[in-house]
Amino acid sequence: MNSFIFSSMEQYDYENIVFCQEKTLGLKAIIVIHDTTLGPAAGGIRMWPYETEQEAINDALRLARGMTYKNAAAGLACGGGKCVIIGDPKRDKNEALLRGLARFIQRLGGIFLTGVDVGTTLQDMEVMRQESPYIVTVPESWGGPGDSAGATAFGVFQGIRACLKERFGSPLPQGRAIAVQGVGAVGKELVRYLAETGAMVTIADIDQEKAQAVGAQYHVNVAAPEEIHRLDVDVYSPCAMGAVLNDRSLEELRCKIVCGSANNQLAEDRHGDMLYQKEILYAPDYIVSAGGVICGMDSMNPGGFNRQRAMEKVAQIYRTMGNVIAISQAQNIPTYRAADVLAEQRIASVRQAKSIAMGGA
């Protein structure tokens, strides 16, 4: 075994890496289980044409650990995991490959619960569900949450409200200037929530036709993609690509709050420190974008998915973001570090409780 694998696992204490291969199907997949202190590892299935196996392993490791923190901070009874498939989803994906992977997941006996991610769809999950009940992101008619974009947007909306409460004394978006970057599935739903509550919204998307259509639908302003982060607004909400908070963009920000659904918004951790120094309130993306996984895990309850129950849980992101802000202030640390503290404290407390239950010290 390559020492790179074990040294990578030891760095952040990963539990398992499972390599899945079926030559006749062209299947090459990696399942990473980071931490199961809180319960089974939960995370999506990503399909991507990685250039090297090491790149795929590194991505799976990073994403799995991120899910541990996301699930812990969201108050879910699950740890973190991830599956990546090496391949082009437009060319290499087929029913046999998906069902073959699902059988590998089934062999794990429920230690890994999974669903949609980049390169996979709800329809793919329907195919995989035929082989394993541990595929949890399926249509509501199958007992699952269906499309999670609305839930994710609702969670981001709650994060924005919590940040507005901290910065302006009121959580109401009414009259607040908010710039939304990216109006895909999540961004468009967020615009709807904001417009319905009276916010002054400006949007941008690299797909200009989509931006114009959403702008007309919700009667909001449309800006050029390269200008959206520079606007003088109360809230900048990145809902498209990652690494948007970097050396260049931070010099151009004129907002008071950053809160959006895009994953990995900080190009590097130091950019979170820079936001803190600039007194821009940053809502860590994994805190406010947890609505999708919250809904996915609700389908594991007896009786299957219940939308009201799930959305009530998503609404608690408002309180979670408030707790992150409180830790940041109490410990004089940036919010991205405060979010990690919140997650780590929960994991440690549950680990201690389990130790006591097993007769440990």
- Name the nearest CA neighbour of 254 among 274, 280, 273: 280
Are 79 and 35 in contact, with CB atoms under 8 Å apart? yes
pLDDT tens, per residue, the chain with 361 residues: 457 889 889 989 999 999 999 999 999 999 999 999 999 999 999 999 999 999 999 999 999 999 999 999 999 999 999 999 999 999 999 999 999 999 999 999 999 999 999 899 999 999 999 999 999 999 888 888 988 899 999 999 999 999 999 999 999 999 999 999 999 999 999 999 999 999 999 999 999 999 999 999 999 999 999 999 999 999 999 999 889 999 999 999 999 999 999 988 999 999 999 999 999 999 999 999 999 999 999 988 888 899 999 999 999 999 999 999 999 999 999 999 999 999 999 999 999 988 886 665 5
pTM of the model: 0.90
Residues 58-93 have pLDDT tens digits of 999 999 999 999 999 999 999 999 999 999 999 999
Which is it for strands 27-35 and 16-22: parallel, antiparallel or unpaired? Answer: antiparallel
Single out the catalytic residue among 23, 28, 70, 82: 82
210 is catalytic: no
Are 135 and 105 in contact, with CB atoms under 8 Å apart? yes
R_g (Cα) of the chain, nearest Å: 20
Q: Which domains does the chain have, with CATH numbers?
A: 14-64+78-138 (3.40.50.10860), 149-290+318-344 (3.40.50.720)
Residues 123-162 have pLDDT tens digits of 999 999 999 999 999 988 888 898 889 999 999 999 999 9
Are 200 and 224 in contact, with CB atoms under 8 Å apart? no
The tokens describing 267, both together, are: 């190009």
- Name the nearest CA neighbour of 131 among 146, 114, 152: 114
Q: What is the 3-state secondary structure (H, E, C) of the chain?
A: CCHHHHHHHHHCCCCEEEEEEEHHHCEEEEEEEEECCCCCEECCEEEECCCCHHHHHHHHHHHHHHHHHHHHHCCCCCEEEEEEEECCCCCCCCHHHHHHHHHHHHHCCCCEEECECCCCCHHHHHHHHCCCCCECCCCHHHCCCCCCHHHHHHHHHHHHHHHHHHHHCCCCCCCCEEEEECCCHHHHHHHHHHHHCCCEEEEECCCHHHHHHHHHHHCCEECCCCCHHHCCCCEEEECCCCCCECHHHHHHCCCCEECCCCCCCECCHHHHHHHHHCCCEECCHHHHCCHHHHHHHHCCCCCCCCHHHHHHHHHCHHHHHHHHHHHHHHHCCCHHHHHHHHHHHHHHHHHHHHHHHCCCC
What single letter denotes the amino acid at residue 339? Answer: A
